[in-house]
Amino acid sequence: MSGTMRAYRLLKAGRMPEVVEVPIPEPGPGQVRLRMAGAGLCHSDLLVIHADPPFFPLPLTMGHEATGWIDAVGPGVEGLTLGDAYGVYFSWGCGSCRACVKGAENVCERAGLTPGFATGRDGGMADYFIVDDPRHLVPLGSLDPVEAAPLMCAGITVAHAVRRTAALLEPGSVALVIGVGGLGHLAVQVLKALTPATIIAIDRLPAKLAQATDLGADHVLLSGSDSAAEIRALTDGRGAALVLDFVGNDATLGLAAGTLAQGGRLEIVGVGGGMLPIRFHTMPRDASVGTPYAGTLDDLRVAVGLAQDGAVQSDVLRVGYAELAATYARLDAGEIKGRAVLVP
Ligand code: NAD
Ligand code: ZN
Protein backbone atom coordinates (compact mmCIF):
# COMPACT_ATOMS: atom_id res chain seq x y z
CA MET A 1 0.00 0.00 0.00
CA SER A 2 1.43 3.40 -0.88
CA GLY A 3 0.26 6.72 0.50
CA THR A 4 0.78 8.71 3.64
CA MET A 5 -0.45 8.52 7.21
CA ARG A 6 -0.36 10.51 10.42
CA ALA A 7 2.38 9.83 12.96
CA TYR A 8 3.10 11.52 16.32
CA ARG A 9 6.84 12.04 16.07
CA LEU A 10 9.57 13.32 18.27
CA LEU A 11 11.54 15.48 15.82
CA LYS A 12 13.91 17.50 18.00
CA ALA A 13 15.22 17.08 21.53
CA GLY A 14 13.51 19.26 24.08
CA ARG A 15 10.45 19.94 21.91
CA MET A 16 7.05 18.27 22.10
CA PRO A 17 6.45 15.67 19.37
CA GLU A 18 4.31 16.74 16.39
CA VAL A 19 1.69 15.12 14.22
CA VAL A 20 3.30 14.80 10.79
CA GLU A 21 2.44 13.10 7.50
CA VAL A 22 4.84 10.28 6.67
CA PRO A 23 4.78 7.43 4.14
CA ILE A 24 2.86 4.32 5.22
CA PRO A 25 5.64 1.85 6.11
CA GLU A 26 6.03 -1.41 4.20
CA PRO A 27 6.67 -4.59 6.21
CA GLY A 28 10.05 -6.10 5.39
CA PRO A 29 10.89 -9.80 5.50
CA GLY A 30 9.50 -11.37 8.67
CA GLN A 31 7.67 -8.18 9.70
CA VAL A 32 4.02 -7.36 10.20
CA ARG A 33 2.11 -4.11 9.63
CA LEU A 34 -0.77 -3.27 11.97
CA ARG A 35 -3.48 -0.66 11.55
CA MET A 36 -3.51 1.13 14.87
CA ALA A 37 -6.49 0.61 17.17
CA GLY A 38 -5.13 2.32 20.28
CA ALA A 39 -1.85 3.62 21.68
CA GLY A 40 -1.55 4.47 25.38
CA LEU A 41 0.13 7.54 26.83
CA CYS A 42 2.60 6.26 29.43
CA HIS A 43 4.27 8.47 32.04
CA SER A 44 7.61 7.10 30.75
CA ASP A 45 6.95 8.88 27.43
CA LEU A 46 7.53 12.16 29.25
CA LEU A 47 11.10 11.08 30.07
CA VAL A 48 11.70 10.32 26.38
CA ILE A 49 10.11 13.60 25.27
CA HIS A 50 12.08 15.75 27.72
CA ALA A 51 15.44 13.97 27.26
CA ASP A 52 18.09 16.34 25.92
CA PRO A 53 20.26 14.90 24.43
CA PRO A 54 17.63 12.46 23.20
CA PHE A 55 17.63 8.83 24.41
CA PHE A 56 17.13 7.51 20.87
CA PRO A 57 18.00 8.63 17.31
CA LEU A 58 15.40 11.10 15.96
CA PRO A 59 12.94 11.36 14.34
CA LEU A 60 11.07 8.71 16.34
CA THR A 61 7.36 7.87 16.35
CA MET A 62 6.12 7.69 19.96
CA GLY A 63 3.91 4.96 21.42
CA HIS A 64 5.25 1.78 23.07
CA GLU A 65 1.81 0.66 24.30
CA ALA A 66 -0.19 -0.24 21.21
CA THR A 67 -2.75 -2.56 19.69
CA GLY A 68 -4.05 -2.92 16.16
CA TRP A 69 -5.40 -5.11 13.38
CA ILE A 70 -3.17 -7.14 11.04
CA ASP A 71 -2.99 -5.06 7.87
CA ALA A 72 -0.14 -6.61 5.84
CA VAL A 73 2.65 -9.12 6.35
CA GLY A 74 6.15 -9.17 4.91
CA PRO A 75 7.78 -12.01 2.97
CA GLY A 76 8.04 -15.20 5.01
CA VAL A 77 5.30 -14.44 7.54
CA GLU A 78 2.63 -17.11 7.72
CA GLY A 79 -0.28 -17.99 9.96
CA LEU A 80 -1.71 -14.51 10.58
CA THR A 81 -5.16 -13.49 9.36
CA LEU A 82 -5.69 -9.98 8.03
CA GLY A 83 -8.04 -8.03 10.28
CA ASP A 84 -7.35 -9.99 13.48
CA ALA A 85 -6.62 -7.87 16.57
CA TYR A 86 -3.27 -8.11 18.36
CA GLY A 87 -1.35 -6.29 21.02
CA VAL A 88 2.38 -5.61 20.81
CA TYR A 89 5.01 -6.83 23.26
CA PHE A 90 7.17 -3.69 23.27
CA SER A 91 10.47 -4.74 24.85
CA TRP A 92 11.94 -6.25 21.71
CA GLY A 93 15.04 -8.36 22.36
CA CYS A 94 17.29 -10.28 19.99
CA GLY A 95 15.17 -13.42 20.29
CA SER A 96 18.11 -15.79 20.64
CA CYS A 97 20.10 -15.02 23.81
CA ARG A 98 19.51 -17.02 27.00
CA ALA A 99 17.02 -14.48 28.34
CA CYS A 100 15.05 -14.16 25.10
CA VAL A 101 14.60 -17.88 24.57
CA LYS A 102 12.86 -17.93 27.96
CA GLY A 103 10.58 -15.13 26.79
CA ALA A 104 12.34 -12.63 29.07
CA GLU A 105 13.12 -10.21 26.25
CA ASN A 106 12.87 -7.37 28.79
CA VAL A 107 16.31 -8.49 30.00
CA CYS A 108 17.74 -9.40 26.58
CA GLU A 109 21.50 -9.85 26.85
CA ARG A 110 21.94 -7.86 23.64
CA ALA A 111 19.40 -5.19 24.60
CA GLY A 112 21.63 -2.31 23.57
CA LEU A 113 21.86 -3.72 20.05
CA THR A 114 18.17 -4.38 19.50
CA PRO A 115 16.12 -1.17 19.37
CA GLY A 116 12.61 -1.72 20.72
CA PHE A 117 9.17 -0.49 19.84
CA ALA A 118 9.23 3.32 20.20
CA THR A 119 12.60 2.91 21.90
CA GLY A 120 14.80 3.12 18.84
CA ARG A 121 12.31 2.04 16.20
CA ASP A 122 9.07 3.79 15.31
CA GLY A 123 6.21 3.09 17.72
CA GLY A 124 2.46 2.82 17.61
CA MET A 125 1.24 6.45 17.63
CA ALA A 126 0.60 6.33 13.91
CA ASP A 127 -2.23 5.15 11.67
CA TYR A 128 -0.07 2.13 10.74
CA PHE A 129 3.02 0.67 12.37
CA ILE A 130 5.51 -2.14 11.88
CA VAL A 131 6.15 -4.99 14.33
CA ASP A 132 9.54 -6.58 13.77
CA ASP A 133 8.50 -10.19 14.38
CA PRO A 134 5.24 -12.12 14.92
CA ARG A 135 6.60 -13.42 18.23
CA HIS A 136 5.97 -9.91 19.59
CA LEU A 137 2.24 -10.13 18.87
CA VAL A 138 -0.29 -11.31 21.45
CA PRO A 139 -3.80 -12.17 20.24
CA LEU A 140 -6.57 -10.11 21.84
CA GLY A 141 -9.47 -12.41 21.04
CA SER A 142 -12.71 -10.83 22.18
CA LEU A 143 -11.08 -7.89 24.00
CA ASP A 144 -11.83 -4.35 22.84
CA PRO A 145 -8.48 -3.40 21.24
CA VAL A 146 -8.67 0.17 22.58
CA GLU A 147 -9.26 -0.99 26.15
CA ALA A 148 -6.52 -3.60 25.71
CA ALA A 149 -3.86 -1.04 24.75
CA PRO A 150 -2.86 -0.20 28.37
CA LEU A 151 -2.08 -3.87 28.98
CA MET A 152 0.88 -3.59 26.59
CA CYS A 153 3.01 -1.51 28.98
CA ALA A 154 1.08 -0.76 32.17
CA GLY A 155 -0.46 -4.24 32.34
CA ILE A 156 2.63 -6.27 31.55
CA THR A 157 4.78 -4.25 33.96
CA VAL A 158 2.32 -4.66 36.81
CA ALA A 159 1.88 -8.38 36.09
CA HIS A 160 5.67 -8.80 36.14
CA ALA A 161 6.14 -6.99 39.46
CA VAL A 162 3.27 -8.84 41.15
CA ARG A 163 3.95 -12.31 39.77
CA ARG A 164 7.59 -12.33 40.83
CA THR A 165 6.75 -11.28 44.37
CA ALA A 166 3.38 -12.97 44.90
CA ALA A 167 4.85 -15.75 47.07
CA LEU A 168 5.39 -13.15 49.83
CA LEU A 169 1.69 -12.43 50.06
CA GLU A 170 -0.31 -14.70 52.36
CA PRO A 171 -3.82 -14.15 53.68
CA GLY A 172 -3.46 -11.21 56.05
CA SER A 173 -0.41 -9.77 54.30
CA VAL A 174 -0.58 -6.20 53.13
CA ALA A 175 0.36 -4.91 49.68
CA LEU A 176 0.83 -1.15 49.40
CA VAL A 177 0.28 0.57 46.04
CA ILE A 178 1.86 4.03 45.85
CA GLY A 179 0.42 6.07 42.94
CA VAL A 180 -2.92 5.02 41.45
CA GLY A 181 -2.36 6.13 37.84
CA GLY A 182 -2.09 4.19 34.60
CA LEU A 183 -0.05 1.42 36.21
CA GLY A 184 -1.41 1.72 39.75
CA HIS A 185 -5.08 1.33 38.83
CA LEU A 186 -4.21 -1.95 37.11
CA ALA A 187 -2.00 -3.00 40.05
CA VAL A 188 -4.93 -2.88 42.49
CA GLN A 189 -6.83 -5.25 40.18
CA VAL A 190 -3.90 -7.60 39.47
CA LEU A 191 -3.13 -7.89 43.20
CA LYS A 192 -6.80 -8.64 43.85
CA ALA A 193 -6.89 -11.29 41.14
CA LEU A 194 -3.58 -13.05 41.82
CA THR A 195 -2.98 -12.69 45.56
CA PRO A 196 -4.90 -12.85 48.86
CA ALA A 197 -3.28 -9.63 50.10
CA THR A 198 -5.07 -6.78 51.80
CA ILE A 199 -4.53 -3.80 49.51
CA ILE A 200 -3.73 -0.26 50.66
CA ALA A 201 -3.56 2.38 47.93
CA ILE A 202 -2.12 5.86 48.36
CA ASP A 203 -2.23 8.84 46.00
CA ARG A 204 -2.15 12.60 46.30
CA LEU A 205 -5.45 13.09 44.46
CA PRO A 206 -8.83 12.13 46.00
CA ALA A 207 -10.30 11.11 42.60
CA LYS A 208 -7.62 8.42 42.25
CA LEU A 209 -8.47 7.08 45.69
CA ALA A 210 -12.15 6.81 44.86
CA GLN A 211 -11.16 4.83 41.79
CA ALA A 212 -8.90 2.55 43.85
CA THR A 213 -11.79 1.80 46.20
CA ASP A 214 -14.06 1.01 43.24
CA LEU A 215 -11.41 -1.37 41.88
CA GLY A 216 -11.09 -3.30 45.12
CA ALA A 217 -8.55 -1.56 47.37
CA ASP A 218 -9.30 -2.33 51.03
CA HIS A 219 -7.96 0.97 52.37
CA VAL A 220 -7.07 4.23 50.63
CA LEU A 221 -4.96 7.11 51.93
CA LEU A 222 -4.28 10.62 50.74
CA SER A 223 -0.50 11.08 50.74
CA GLY A 224 0.74 13.45 53.40
CA SER A 225 3.08 13.81 56.31
CA ASP A 226 1.22 11.19 58.38
CA SER A 227 1.15 8.49 55.70
CA ALA A 228 3.76 6.23 57.28
CA ALA A 229 2.03 6.27 60.67
CA GLU A 230 -1.35 5.64 59.05
CA ILE A 231 0.02 2.63 57.18
CA ARG A 232 1.69 1.28 60.33
CA ALA A 233 -1.63 1.60 62.15
CA LEU A 234 -3.51 -0.20 59.36
CA THR A 235 -1.01 -3.09 59.45
CA ASP A 236 -0.90 -3.57 63.25
CA GLY A 237 2.60 -2.14 63.20
CA ARG A 238 3.91 -4.85 60.89
CA GLY A 239 4.15 -2.86 57.67
CA ALA A 240 3.51 -4.01 54.11
CA ALA A 241 4.92 -7.30 52.83
CA LEU A 242 4.99 -5.80 49.33
CA VAL A 243 5.28 -2.15 48.34
CA LEU A 244 4.77 -1.27 44.69
CA ASP A 245 6.07 2.28 44.20
CA PHE A 246 4.71 3.74 40.95
CA VAL A 247 6.22 7.16 41.63
CA GLY A 248 9.81 6.54 42.72
CA ASN A 249 10.75 9.99 44.03
CA ASP A 250 12.57 10.66 47.30
CA ALA A 251 9.32 11.09 49.22
CA THR A 252 7.68 7.87 48.04
CA LEU A 253 10.85 5.79 48.37
CA GLY A 254 11.22 7.10 51.92
CA LEU A 255 7.62 6.17 52.63
CA ALA A 256 8.15 2.74 51.08
CA ALA A 257 11.26 1.97 53.13
CA GLY A 258 9.55 3.27 56.26
CA THR A 259 6.47 1.11 55.86
CA LEU A 260 7.98 -2.11 54.54
CA ALA A 261 7.57 -5.19 56.75
CA GLN A 262 10.53 -7.28 57.89
CA GLY A 263 11.22 -9.77 55.10
CA GLY A 264 9.23 -7.55 52.76
CA ARG A 265 9.85 -6.55 49.19
CA LEU A 266 9.93 -3.10 47.61
CA GLU A 267 9.40 -2.97 43.86
CA ILE A 268 10.53 0.41 42.50
CA VAL A 269 8.50 0.69 39.29
CA GLY A 270 8.28 4.48 39.01
CA VAL A 271 11.13 6.33 37.38
CA GLY A 272 10.82 9.41 39.56
CA GLY A 273 14.56 9.87 40.03
CA GLY A 274 14.57 9.46 43.83
CA MET A 275 17.40 7.84 45.75
CA LEU A 276 17.07 5.25 48.49
CA PRO A 277 20.05 4.58 50.77
CA ILE A 278 20.33 0.82 51.24
CA ARG A 279 22.50 -0.81 53.88
CA PHE A 280 21.93 -2.68 57.10
CA HIS A 281 19.76 -0.62 59.48
CA THR A 282 18.28 1.65 56.78
CA MET A 283 15.93 -1.12 55.70
CA PRO A 284 13.82 -3.60 57.68
CA ARG A 285 15.53 -6.93 58.42
CA ASP A 286 15.61 -9.34 55.50
CA ALA A 287 14.01 -6.85 53.10
CA SER A 288 14.72 -6.84 49.37
CA VAL A 289 14.40 -4.22 46.67
CA GLY A 290 13.71 -4.70 42.97
CA THR A 291 13.64 -2.49 39.89
CA PRO A 292 11.30 -4.37 37.54
CA TYR A 293 11.49 -3.42 33.88
CA ALA A 294 8.48 -4.18 31.66
CA GLY A 295 7.91 -7.95 31.75
CA THR A 296 8.25 -11.23 29.94
CA LEU A 297 6.10 -12.51 27.09
CA ASP A 298 4.47 -14.75 29.69
CA ASP A 299 3.65 -11.75 31.90
CA LEU A 300 1.91 -10.15 28.92
CA ARG A 301 -0.11 -13.29 28.27
CA VAL A 302 -1.18 -13.31 31.93
CA ALA A 303 -2.15 -9.62 31.81
CA VAL A 304 -4.21 -10.18 28.66
CA GLY A 305 -5.73 -13.33 30.15
CA LEU A 306 -6.81 -11.46 33.28
CA ALA A 307 -8.52 -8.88 31.07
CA GLN A 308 -10.20 -11.61 29.01
CA ASP A 309 -11.49 -13.15 32.26
CA GLY A 310 -12.91 -9.77 33.28
CA ALA A 311 -10.64 -9.62 36.36
CA VAL A 312 -8.76 -6.56 35.10
CA GLN A 313 -10.22 -3.65 33.21
CA SER A 314 -8.40 -0.54 32.01
CA ASP A 315 -10.11 2.77 32.64
CA VAL A 316 -9.51 4.40 29.27
CA LEU A 317 -9.76 8.06 28.23
CA ARG A 318 -9.88 8.14 24.41
CA VAL A 319 -8.06 11.07 22.78
CA GLY A 320 -7.35 12.08 19.17
CA TYR A 321 -4.08 13.22 17.59
CA ALA A 322 -4.99 16.89 18.11
CA GLU A 323 -5.34 16.36 21.88
CA LEU A 324 -2.01 14.58 22.45
CA ALA A 325 0.03 17.59 23.56
CA ALA A 326 -2.62 18.77 26.03
CA THR A 327 -3.13 15.23 27.31
CA TYR A 328 0.60 14.76 27.97
CA ALA A 329 0.53 18.03 29.93
CA ARG A 330 -2.32 16.65 32.05
CA LEU A 331 -0.43 13.37 32.52
CA ASP A 332 2.62 15.33 33.66
CA ALA A 333 0.43 17.02 36.26
CA GLY A 334 -0.92 13.62 37.42
CA GLU A 335 -4.45 14.51 36.32
CA ILE A 336 -5.27 11.57 34.03
CA LYS A 337 -7.50 9.01 35.73
CA GLY A 338 -6.65 5.54 34.45
CA ARG A 339 -4.96 5.65 31.05
CA ALA A 340 -5.30 8.07 28.13
CA VAL A 341 -5.24 6.19 24.82
CA LEU A 342 -4.77 7.67 21.34
CA VAL A 343 -7.39 6.43 18.90
CA PRO A 344 -7.01 7.35 15.22
P1 NAD B 1 0.66 8.15 36.01
O2 NAD B 1 1.01 9.59 35.91
O3 NAD B 1 -0.53 7.65 35.27
O4 NAD B 1 0.45 7.73 37.55
C5 NAD B 1 1.22 8.23 38.60
C6 NAD B 1 0.31 8.36 39.83
O7 NAD B 1 1.10 8.68 40.96
C8 NAD B 1 -0.74 9.47 39.68
O9 NAD B 1 -2.02 8.98 40.04
C10 NAD B 1 -0.27 10.54 40.68
O11 NAD B 1 -1.34 11.29 41.22
C12 NAD B 1 0.43 9.68 41.71
N13 NAD B 1 1.44 10.39 42.52
C14 NAD B 1 2.35 11.29 42.10
N15 NAD B 1 3.12 11.69 43.13
C16 NAD B 1 2.68 11.03 44.22
C17 NAD B 1 3.08 10.99 45.58
N18 NAD B 1 4.10 11.75 46.02
N19 NAD B 1 2.42 10.17 46.42
C20 NAD B 1 1.40 9.40 45.98
N21 NAD B 1 0.98 9.38 44.69
C22 NAD B 1 1.62 10.19 43.83
O23 NAD B 1 1.96 7.35 35.57
P24 NAD B 1 2.08 5.83 35.02
O25 NAD B 1 2.02 5.85 33.54
O26 NAD B 1 1.21 4.97 35.83
O27 NAD B 1 3.61 5.52 35.38
C28 NAD B 1 4.02 5.42 36.73
C29 NAD B 1 5.53 5.35 36.80
O30 NAD B 1 5.98 4.09 36.31
C31 NAD B 1 6.25 6.41 35.97
O32 NAD B 1 7.40 6.83 36.68
C33 NAD B 1 6.66 5.64 34.73
O34 NAD B 1 7.78 6.23 34.09
C35 NAD B 1 6.98 4.30 35.34
N36 NAD B 1 6.96 3.14 34.44
C37 NAD B 1 7.91 2.19 34.67
C38 NAD B 1 7.90 1.04 33.92
C39 NAD B 1 8.92 -0.02 34.20
O40 NAD B 1 9.11 -0.89 33.36
N41 NAD B 1 9.56 0.00 35.35
C42 NAD B 1 6.94 0.84 32.92
C43 NAD B 1 5.99 1.83 32.73
C44 NAD B 1 5.99 2.98 33.50
ZN1 ZN C 1 5.20 2.52 29.39
Q: What angle do CA 301, 304, 308 make, to 5 degrees?
A: 130
pLDDT digits (tens, 9 = 90+) for 56-107: 999 999 999 999 999 999 999 999 999 999 999 999 999 999 999 999 999 9
Per-residue model confidence (pLDDT) at position 112: 78
Q: Which fold has domain 4-156+295-342?
A: Quinone Oxidoreductase; Chain A, domain 1 (3.90.180)
272 close to ligand 1 (CB < 6 Angstrom): yes
153 close to ligand 1 (CB < 6 Angstrom): yes
Pocket test for ligand 1, best of 50, 269, 337 (most atoms within 8 A of CB): 269
CA distance 197 to 175: 6
Using a CB cutoff of 8 Å and minimum separation of 24, what contacts does 96-103 make?
102/296, 103/296, 103/297, 103/298
274 close to ligand 1 (CB < 6 Angstrom): no
Domain ranges of the chain: 4-156+295-342, 165-290
223 close to ligand 1 (CB < 6 Angstrom): yes
- For the chain, give the percent of residues with pLDDT over 90: 97
pLDDT digits (tens, 9 = 90+) for 288-322: 999 999 999 999 999 999 999 999 999 999 999 99
Q: How far is the CA of 154 from the centre of ligand 1 (A)?
A: 10
CATH class name, domain 165-290: alpha beta
Nearest alpha carbon, ligand 1 atom 4: 181
Pocket test for ligand 1, best of 243, 247, 252, 331 (most atoms within 8 A of CB): 247
Ligand showing the shortest atom-to-Cα distance for residue 47 = 1
Quick one: which of 89, 42, 36, 131 has its CA closest to 303?
89
Domains 4-156+295-342 and 165-290 share a fold: no
Q: How far is the CA of 255 from the centre of ligand 2 (A)?
A: 24
